[in-house]
Structure 1
Amino acid sequence: MSTNTSPTLPAASTPGRTLAAWWQALPLTTVFVLFFLIPLALVLMVSFWDYNQYEMLPGFTFKNYISVFEGCLSRNESGDLCVTLKTYLSTFKFCLLVWALTLVIGFTVSYFLAFHVKSSGMQVVLFVICTIPFWTSNVIRMIAWVPLLGRNGLVNDFLVGYGMVDQPIEWLLFSNFSVVLAFVHLFTTFMIVPIFNSMMRIDRSLIEAANDSGASGWQTLWNVIVPLCRTGIIIGSIFVITIVMGDFVTIGVMGGQQIASVGKIIQVQTSYLQFPLAAANAVVLLAIVLMIIWALTRMVDIRKEL
């Protein structure tokens, strides 16, 4: 007796299904091309143009990139760093401080919501409260700190009134402190959301198994919860770092227009109609941010984890 063992083609390989998949991907692909790839290509193109006080001059020149790194490849007599390196170091400093503070605060809040709030309804309520800062403009939230931290603000009035200080503290506003404070206030939610999502997906039986094995609370946190939250931590870190790297509004308002950052330099160059030079700075900034994102994504396969 003979049996028919001829192979059959999978249904997914039919031309109709393939064409339908392409049509489904077409809207998102169109949006991606129109609003990301084309603007990015235009910025890259303009970065190689020349300019004068009145207009941009289409062409091809490395003049703008040379201007960005002017003085960085040669040592001056005083041994100081060039303006570009100083600016990037200042931006990296803010990135590191804001990332560390938002990570600690975001992880703590997420841990409380995920493991200490037992009612799912209360979790939703508290989580919505965490998103309240998004209900108002960033500028309004920043300006709200001025009457609190100013020389004649509530904080200084309290400290002077109770004799804690002899005179108002100057560095509370228009300083590195106020910039970091505003960043943390504005962007901590970007760290809370992905970490909380990762924690809610943790199998609670793993926590019980660690407790039954005699692990302390800190051991369970470090060896079980933190590794399982890597995806949320990396995603939150990408959000915070990329936003802080390109921000110029917060640094301008809370720094009193006295603190330099890469985003602030690009904004100033744009205001002076130096669009090719601003585009070159933007391309350099984008390249550095992409390298940071690439380094972060090497720590965990985000697509696999999600």
Structure 2
Amino acid sequence: MSGSVGSGRGGSWEPAQGVAAWWQAAPFALVFGVFFLLPLALVAVVSLWNFNEYELIPAVTLRNYFSIFEGCSRLTDNGDFCVTLSTYLSTLKFCLIVWAVTLVLGFAVAYFLAFHVRSATTQTVLFVLCTVPFWTSNVIRMISWVPLLGRNGLVNQSLMGIGLIEQPIEWLLFSDFSVVLAFVHLYTMFMIVPIFNSMMRIDRSLLEAASDAGASGWQTLWNVVVPLSKTGILIGSIFVITIVMGDFVTIGVMGGQQIASVGKIIQVQTSYLQFPLAAANAVILLAVVLMIIWALTRLVDIRKEL
């Protein structure tokens, strides 16, 4: 009798628990659907619309996608790729360089904070110092480089003053260098935080065991710390890659409006009210970013690691 009552209670409790779980997840699912899935669906729908100089025409067509890749089946007369492929390659170039630099800097800073700073108070103070630049606007932080890197800026004037150069260095500002420098300045923190969190979870006894086994500092770093920090590295990489791939403000300001990027093309098309064409570019960019993220998640099973 007691067994039947117990099973009855268990049977009635499990569905109730399932219903409660669904109700708890419903608000988050609603927010995710309204603010993420629905806008993406609308962008995909608009990318299939037609348009002219005066109006949007809600008729299904692939004209926008064909227009984006027009002429990309062959090289130009100068032996270059078409505008679309050249722009994507330029964006991927910046993405790869910024990812590599922020990974090295972010890993080094996180490693120092996690393993060489013993005091929790000191860790907190140094961590807050890393966030100080985020107290101001991205645009202000970018503009702050102009008086430093300009032709008559502090860097050029200092180098000329000590006799290292005779003429100002032109490529310090409004160049690929200044764009990468601004990206690294703006987004290294997105790499530091997740790597630091992963490193703080590492059992310190593992490091002691590696040292007792005769491993050098570099061997311990490569065989213990790096594998156990893969989750943070992956999350930081996803943050940096997704932000850089869609950025157009940084490239526009620090590139002097002379360097093309996919985000810049979308912004220009939107300003000219070519919304279907901009939406098609956005869908293609999203597909490229998702493929990059998919490739990264093949290297680390983030769900298992978390």
If the length of structure 1 is used for normalisation, what is the TM-score? 0.96
1:5 to partner: Cα distance: 9.9
- Write the letter of the residue equivalent to 2:186: L
* 2:277 equivalent to 1:292: no
The CA distance in 2 between the partners of 1:11 and 1:182, in whole Å, is 59
The CA distance in 1 between the partners of 2:13 and 2:188, in whole Å, is 46
1:6 to partner: Cα distance: 10
Q: Which residue of 2 aligns with 1:68?
A: 68
Give the aligned CA root-mean-square deviation in angstroms: 1.7
1:78 to partner: Cα distance: 3.8
Q: Write the mapping of 1:49-64 to structure 2, written as runs, cut at 5 A.
A: 49-64=49-64
The CA distance in 2 between the partners of 1:126 and 1:85, in whole Å, is 42
Q: 1:146 to 1:51 in 2, by over 3 A?
A: same
- Write the letter of the residue equivalent to 1:103: L
1:119 to partner: Cα distance: 0.4
Q: Which residue of 2 aligns with 1:159?
A: 159
- Write the letter of the residue equivalent to 1:294: W
* Unaligned residue ranges in structure 1 (runs of 5+): none
Q: Which residue of 1 aligns with 2:7?
A: 8
The CA distance in 1 between the partners of 2:151 and 2:118, in whole Å, is 44
1:79 to partner: Cα distance: 3.0
- Write the letter of the residue equivalent to 2:273: L
- Write the letter of the residue equivalent to 1:201: R
Q: Write the mapping of 1:212-231 to structure 2, written as runs, cut at 5 A.
A: 212-231=212-231
The CA distance in 2 between the partners of 1:255 and 1:78, in whole Å, is 24
The CA distance in 2 between the partners of 1:25 and 1:58, in whole Å, is 35
If the length of structure 2 is used for normalisation, what is the TM-score? 0.96
- Write the letter of the residue equivalent to 1:86: S
Q: Which residue of 2 aligns with 1:237?
A: 237
* Unaligned residue ranges in structure 2 (runs of 5+): none
The CA distance in 1 between the partners of 2:12 and 2:303, in whole Å, is 23
The CA distance in 2 between the partners of 1:77 and 1:250, in whole Å, is 31
Q: 1:107 to 1:43 in 2, by over 3 A?
A: same
Q: Write the mapping of 1:1-306 to structure 2, written as runs, cut at 5 A.
A: 8=7, 10=10, 14-306=14-306
1:14 to partner: Cα distance: 2.8
The CA distance in 2 between the partners of 1:37 and 1:103, in whole Å, is 30
Q: 1:77 to 1:168 in 2, by over 3 A?
A: closer
The CA distance in 1 between the partners of 2:207 and 2:189, in whole Å, is 26
Q: 1:77 to 1:158 in 2, by over 3 A?
A: closer
1:12 to partner: Cα distance: 8.3
The CA distance in 1 between the partners of 2:135 and 2:77, in whole Å, is 52
Q: What SS does the corresponding residue of 1:131 show, helix, strand or coil?
A: helix
Identity among equivalent positions (%) equals 74
| Conservation of the 8 A alpha-carbon contact between 2:74 and 2:81 | no
The CA distance in 2 between the partners of 1:295 and 1:140, in whole Å, is 34
Q: Which moved more, 1:73-82 or 1:260-269?
A: 73-82
